[in-house]
């Protein structure tokens, strides 16, 4: 998949706030919605909204299994929150969700044991909840770098990968053994050749995004080309070997370090197979993250 440039140009989350919760409740009338909670205040707000809308809302408890982001702690805190959900007649407790956090460990022999350890916290929490008398229909674990670990563990009922669909340079860099190929590329044009070892393309961070850790987009071809800097509208390439033959007007493909920011900055995917454009897909959620 490619996003054409012009010159100049998983995850699940708790829903908080009256307006957003109302939008969520309207969606329940035409879709199968499951809300995440990790605090009693989430439960209270969702329960009140479900009562007002005359519906019963499906709810899962999010468990922090090592990411250190959202999620209640495993064990008793998870059981207590699940029990609180079940105490609300307007809510239906569906199970547990936990996001895995070991994608940054490139060494497979170190990463997989860590992933199993993290997912075991989720599986153990499921057992705790079930011993407390509550059914767990869904016990879901992400993410892309751990899909083949979560899927082998008893107690996990679904896997929640997201990046695998298109991949990105950061995922491939941090977990090079993953079975998924890089599909998302940004097609850019050489607009300047100021020196023998430098080229400038019409693609900056406003289009391809900035990695949270400052890493640059990748390039697979030509040999000897690499991205060294991104400005808002320009990308700076260092050239060596055969890449020195690049000329103004040549096209080069950049691979986003993180796919999410690149996708959100563009209007369309262009589907390419064997060098032939097969389709164009509008990115319906572009800019819709408010």
First to last CA, the chain: 26
Same domain as 276, residue 202: yes
**pLDDT bracket for residue 7 (50, 70, 90):** very low
pTM exceeds 0.85, yes or no: no
Is 60 exceeded by the pLDDT of residue 108?
Answer: yes
Same domain as 126, residue 65: yes
Same domain as 144, residue 35: yes
Q: Which element (helix H / strand E) includes 98? A: strand 91-99
Same domain as 55, residue 110: yes
Residue 246 placed within a domain: yes
Residue 287 placed within a domain: no
For the segment 38-79, what is each residue's pLDDT rounded down to a tens digit? 999 999 999 999 999 999 999 999 999 988 889 999 999 999
Residue numbers of the domain that contains 221:
180-282
Same domain as 215, residue 143: no
For the segment 87-102, what is each residue's pLDDT rounded down to a tens digit? 999 999 999 999 987 7
The pLDDT of 100-122, averaged and rounded, is 87
**CATH number, domain with residue 213:** 2.40.37.20
What does the alpha-carbon distance between residue 226 and residue 62 come to, in Å, rounded to a whole number? 40
**In the prediction, which pLDDT does 287 show?**
77
Same domain as 240, residue 146: no
Residues 45/80, Cβ–Cβ less than 8 Å: no
**pLDDT bracket for residue 290 (50, 70, 90):** low
Structural domain total, the chain: 2
Residue 167 placed within a domain: no
Same domain as 187, residue 131: no
**CATH number, domain with residue 27:** 3.20.20.10
The pLDDT of 243-260, averaged and rounded, is 95
Same domain as 244, residue 195: yes
Same domain as 112, residue 33: yes
**In the prediction, which pLDDT does 289 show?**
65
The label of the residue with tokens 């674990």 reads 141
Residue 11 placed within a domain: no
């Amino acid at each position: 998949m490619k996003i054409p440039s012009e010159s100049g140009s998983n995850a699940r989350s708790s829903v908080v706030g009256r307006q957003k919760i109302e939008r969520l409740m309207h969606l329940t009338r035409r879709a199968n919605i499951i809300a995440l909670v990790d605090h009693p205040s989430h439960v209270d707000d969702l329960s009140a909204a479900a009562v007002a809308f005359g519906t019963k809302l499906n709810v899962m408890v999010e468990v922090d299994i090592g990411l250190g982001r959202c999620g209640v702690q495993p064990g008793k805190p998870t059981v207590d929150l699940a029990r609180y959900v079940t105490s609300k007649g307007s809510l239906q407790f569906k199970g547990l969700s936990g996001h895995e956090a070991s994608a940054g460990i490139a060494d497979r022999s170190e990463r997989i044991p860590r992933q199993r350890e993290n997912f075991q916290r989720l599986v153990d929490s499921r057992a705790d909840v079930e011993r407390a008398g509550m059914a767990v229909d869904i016990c879901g674990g992400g993410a892309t770098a751990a899909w083949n670990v979560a899927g082998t563990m008893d107690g996990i009922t679904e896997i929640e990968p997201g990046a695998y669909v298109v991949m990105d340079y950061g995922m491939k860099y941090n977990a090079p053994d993953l079975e998924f190929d890089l599909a998302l590329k940004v097609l850019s044009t050489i607009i300047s050749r100021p020196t023998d070892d430098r080229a400038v393309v019409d693609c900056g961070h406003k289009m391809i995004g900035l990695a949270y850790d400052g890493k640059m987009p990748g390039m697979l071809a030509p040999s000897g080309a690499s991205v060294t800097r991104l400005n808002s509208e320009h990308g700076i390439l260092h050239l060596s070997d055969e890449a020195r033959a690049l000329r103004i007007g040549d096209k080069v493909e950049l691979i986003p370090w993180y796919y999410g920011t690149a996708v959100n900055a563009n209007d369309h995917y262009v589907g390419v197979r064997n060098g032939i454009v097969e389709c164009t897909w509008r990115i319906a959620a572009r800019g819709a993250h408010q």
